Amino acid sequence: MRATLVIPTLNEAGSIGHVLRQFRSAASEANHTAFAQDPIDWEILVIDGPSTDGTAEVARAEGALVISEPRRGYGRAYKTGFAKAQGEVIATADGDATYPVEMIPPLVRKLLDENWEFLTGNRFAYLDRKAMTTEHRVGNGLLNGFLGLAYHRFVRRVPGGLRDSQSGFWVFRRALLDRLRLTQDGMAFSEELKLEAILAGARVLEVPIPYRERWGAPKLSSWRDGIRNFLFLAQKRLAIAREARNGRSSSGVRPEKGGVSP
């Protein structure tokens, strides 16, 4: 079996090596235990900003395939990575060491054994208080609250609900991408990917994960990105309502092909 880890980076030379070594160690151990009968051939894609601090060189030295993406945006980096990914399963993480990459192999096992299509992490389950500013926590809370209210009829399909709309830690089947319409190049991509999976009728589950203090300076602009994400959620909900009025169902698999473009 082949799987792909996609990591977007921008000036993370100080942490990307640690992230990749930690992941490779966990993947190697899992191939001798949980996947002993069918070891996973991992492809590691680092989608770089491009960085100016040597991030790409560090990633290559750790065995990653580095793809330079000059177009800015968190979502743009992921769409580029997903279009290049060759694995049957795709996993994601950030290059700043905040996400528990050692959990990826067991989550792939869970995805396969329990027949899920999309797993997403809940950072608030075991949040390191140093990992997120108060401003960031408040902003996330407001976005999560709005999503829960505006998209209640859809989110209730997820066992246990969706408590972290902004998480960027995912493990999912690559085939699912053909059923999604992914349009966002910015931070709203995190919300869009989850919502599209739910709207497509995929089997989605949120899993608790630890979220750690990042290495290096944060790049998020809490208020700017938060407002953009809120506007996206509101506009998408209105679009879904228009589609329903026009007779298009939002309760099953989408009829037209979606996916991501290179």
Look at residue 257 in the predicted model and tell me its pLDDT.
44
Look at residue 248 in the predicted model and tell me its pLDDT.
57
Helix (H) or strand (E) holding 126: strand 118-127
Look at residue 135 in the predicted model and tell me its pLDDT.
75
Instruction: Give domain limits for the chain.
Output: 2-245
Helix (H) or strand (E) holding 119: strand 118-127
DSSP states of 24-91: HHHHHHHHHTTTTTS--EEEEEEEE---SSSHHHHHHHTTPEEEE--S--HHHHHHHHHHH---SEEE
pLDDT in tens, the chain (262 residues): 999 999 999 999 999 999 999 999 999 999 999 999 999 999 999 999 989 999 999 999 999 999 999 999 999 999 999 999 999 999 999 999 999 999 999 999 999 999 999 999 999 887 777 667 777 778 888 999 999 999 999 999 999 999 999 999 999 999 999 999 999 999 999 999 999 999 999 999 999 999 998 776 666 556 688 899 999 999 999 999 998 888 755 444 343 345 565 5
Residues 165, 194: Cα–Cα separation, whole Å? 8
Residues 67, 19: Cα–Cα separation, whole Å? 17
Look at residue 219 in the predicted model and tell me its pLDDT.
61
Look at residue 252 in the predicted model and tell me its pLDDT.
43
Look at residue 256 in the predicted model and tell me its pLDDT.
37
Look at residue 213 in the predicted model and tell me its pLDDT.
85
Look at residue 262 in the predicted model and tell me its pLDDT.
52
What architecture is domain 2-245? Alpha-Beta Complex (3.90)
